[in-house]
């Protein structure tokens, strides 16, 4: 957690910026155009998650174990440049059919820019990964801060100046191209040597391929409910659904850096001959995630109607029910199982688990949407996520075994942290709801003022709930200030 601290701090700041994106766009853009925007980036996100095929992520495995860093960086960049080219050409060719499937001809207005943006994004994706894989978490955090801030501005500024979705896509595409140039300069600048070694590249592909195939299955499965809903309703109703499928920024803020650092740490422990400490490292990471993630999920579930209206506006009030169902998939994320399995070269099992989850998704989405409409779509996503987590959990003890001795699954669960987080989060949520119900209705003459003032009772509720949660931690023996001081001053075992 000390190593992940800079990444978490940077993402905390950028999470606030990211939260401003839907807050602004949902109010500035017409409802149908907002739905078009969500469809465009649903497509871009799907392709940019699939086409790297795990090659960029493989740096977390190889860089801590090798002295040939330039070669791994060079062949990673070359592979992803080719993958980005495939993304751009394929997407440009396929857009007429995609627009017809979504029954939204407005998608074709952004055909070229979407193809270029997606290609550049894929090609530049290993920028921060290369830094974190070397243990340079502060440098990685600064880079996240820079690019996420610029990206948030590229979304918001064109919309607020009245230039619309086309100007937004143009700005984002130029920014993605600049990021690609930066990735090549940062990863290869000042280093000499070959950019490709066939033997090393074959080994890298052998490691990455199962994980890449897993992503090829997992990402379409993850977004399948959104594609099905997008193809069955109009852009305006899809905007309501997409708003409900809102990932709270703190989830990625906590989960991603913790998983990345855990992978590097497990690799360092294995290299040092201390693989037996991996169980404690995993349980520690899960405990910290439970402590800081679960209370936020419980709190948001309780105040969902107020939160959705504050963020997206009155037009999106029906999204609150979808948002509450969506949140039910997050608590299982306190266990960074995919990171642990990748660190132990269990990518083949990841592929099998994602195949099972994808197979389960097909009947779940079909039955959910056909019988329960858009609410059934989000419910099918939650059910499929639980199937996938169960598959990963079944393999985890074997992956973390030391000298053939497998730890029991319950030994990997931080029971104390989960209990404290559950109790404290529930009490905090009750207090937050009480504050919101006691707050007078704040009305202002202008839409902008209304949007601003809606956050005042939410902020007060958050402060009250946070104070109660800290009090629960204190009463159960956890001293938050002391824990933070220990994280800052103590170097974790096995840290590179």
**DSSP assignment of 88-133:** HHHHHHHHHHHHHHHT-GGGGGGHHHHHHHHHHHHHTTTHHHHHHH
Q: Report yes or no: 336 and 258 within 8 Å, Cβ to Cβ.
A: yes
Is the pLDDT assigned to residue 66 strictly greater than 80? no
Structure tokens at 153: 């501005």
H or E segment at 9? helix 5-28
What would the pLDDT profile of 372-388 be if each residue is shown by its tens digit?
A: 888 899 999 999 989 88
For the entire predicted model, the pTM comes to 0.71
Is the pLDDT assigned to residue 489 strictly greater than 60? no
Structure tokens at 370: 């056909």
User: Which residue in the block uniquely carries the two structure tokens 């937050």?
Assistant: 432
What would the pLDDT profile of 67-114 be if each residue is shown by its tens digit?
A: 777 888 889 899 999 999 999 999 999 999 999 888 888 889 899 999
In the chain, the N- to C-terminal Cα span, in Å, equals 13
Is the pLDDT assigned to residue 4 strictly greater than 80? no
Tell me which of 162 and 275 has the higher pLDDT: 162
Residue 92 pLDDT: 94
pLDDT-derived band at 197, boundaries 50, 70, 90? confident
Helix axis angle, 69-102 to 198-232, nearest 10°:
20
Q: Report yes or no: 172 and 112 within 8 Å, Cβ to Cβ.
A: no
Residue 2 pLDDT: 60
Residue 140: which residues within 8 A CB-CB, separation 6 or more?
Answer: 6, 7, 128, 131, 132
Overall average pLDDT of the 344-352 stretch: 81
Residue 320 pLDDT: 92
Structure tokens at 110: 């952004």
Domain spans of the chain?
Answer: 5-489
Residue 402 bridge partners (DSSP): 405
CA 346 to chain centre: 21
Residue 492 pLDDT: 38
- Nearest Cα neighbor of 173 from 36, 310, 68, 40 is 40
The whole-angstrom separation of Cα 315 and Cα 215 is: 35
Residue 247: which residues within 8 A CB-CB, separation 6 or more?
Answer: none
What would the pLDDT profile of 433-464 be if each residue is shown by its tens digit?
A: 888 887 654 444 444 445 556 677 888 888 89
Residue 496 pLDDT: 34
What would the pLDDT profile of 120-139 be if each residue is shown by its tens digit?
A: 999 998 888 887 777 777 77
Is the pLDDT assigned to residue 490 strictly greater than 50? no
Q: Is 248 left (phi over 0), alpha (psi -120 to 50) or beta?
A: beta
The dihedral built from the CA positions of residue 153, 155, 158 and 159, taken in this order, carries a sign that is negative
Is the pLDDT assigned to residue 495 strictly greater than 70? no
Out of 108-117, 210-219, 352-361, 487-496, which region has the weakest mean confidence (pLDDT)? 487-496
pLDDT-derived band at 487, boundaries 50, 70, 90? very low
Rounded to the nearest integer, the mean pLDDT of the chain is 82
Overall average pLDDT of the 234-251 stretch: 85
């Amino acid at each position: 957690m000390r190593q992940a601290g800079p990444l978490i701090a940077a993402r905390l700041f950028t999470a606030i910026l990211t939260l401003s994106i839907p807050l602004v766009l949902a109010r500035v853009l017409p409802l149908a155009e907002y739905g078009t925007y969500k469809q465009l980036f649903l497509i871009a996100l799907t392709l940019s998650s699939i086409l790297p095929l795990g090659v960029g992520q493989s740096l977390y495995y190889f860089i801590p174990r090798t002295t040939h860093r330039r070669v791994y960086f060079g062949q990673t960049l070359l592979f992803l440049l080719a993958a980005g080219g495939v993304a751009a050409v394929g997407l440009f060719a396929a857009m007429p059919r995609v627009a017809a499937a979504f029954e939204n001809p407005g998608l074709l207005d952004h055909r070229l820019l979407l193809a270029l943006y997606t290609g550049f994004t894929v090609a530049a994706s290993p920028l921060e990964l290369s830094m974190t894989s070397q243990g340079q978490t502060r440098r990685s955090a600064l880079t996240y801060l820079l690019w996420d801030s610029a990206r948030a501005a590229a979304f918001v500024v064109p919309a607020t100046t009245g230039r619309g979705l086309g100007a937004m896509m143009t700005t984002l595409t130029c920014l993605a191209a600049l990021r690609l140039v930066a990735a090549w300069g940062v990863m290869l600048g000042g280093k000499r040597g070959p950019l490709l070694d066939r033997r090393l590249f074959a080994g890298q592909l052998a490691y990455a391929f199962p994980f890449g195939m897993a992503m090829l299955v997992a990402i379409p499965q993850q977004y399948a409910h959104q594609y099905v809903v997008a193809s069955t309703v109009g852009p305006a109703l899809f905007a309501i659904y997409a708003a409900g499928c809102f990932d709270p920024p703190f989830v990625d803020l906590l989960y991603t850096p913790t998983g990345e650092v855990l992978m590097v740490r497990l690799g360092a422990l294995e290299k040092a001959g201390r693989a037996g400490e991996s169980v404690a490292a995993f349980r520690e990471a899960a405990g910290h995630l439970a402590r800081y993630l679960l209370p936020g999920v419980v709190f948001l579930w309780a105040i969902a109607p107020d939160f959705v209206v504050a963020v997206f506006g009155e037009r999106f009030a029906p999204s609150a029910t979808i948002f509450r169902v969506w949140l039910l998939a997050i608590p299982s994320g306190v266990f960074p199982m995919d990171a642990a399995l990748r660190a132990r070269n269990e990518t083949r099992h990841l592929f099998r688990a994602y195949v099972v989850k994808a197979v389960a998704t097909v009947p779940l989405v079909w039955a959910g949407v056909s019988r329960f409409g858009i609410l059934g779509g989000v419910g099918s996503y939650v059910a499929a996520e639980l199937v996938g987590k169960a598959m990963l959990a079944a393999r985890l003890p074997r992956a973390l075994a030391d000298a053939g001795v497998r730890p029991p699954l319950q030994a990997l669960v931080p029971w104390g942290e989960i209990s404290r987080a559950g109790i404290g989060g529930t009490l905090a949520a009750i207090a937050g709801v009480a504050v919101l119900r006691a707050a007078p209705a704040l009305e202002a003459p202008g839409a902008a003022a209304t949007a601003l003032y809606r956050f005042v009772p939410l902020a007060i509720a958050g402060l009250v709930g946070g104070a109660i949660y800290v009090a629960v931690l204190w009463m159960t023996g956890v001293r938050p200030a002391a824990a933070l001081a220990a994280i800052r001053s103590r170097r974790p075992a096995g840290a590179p």
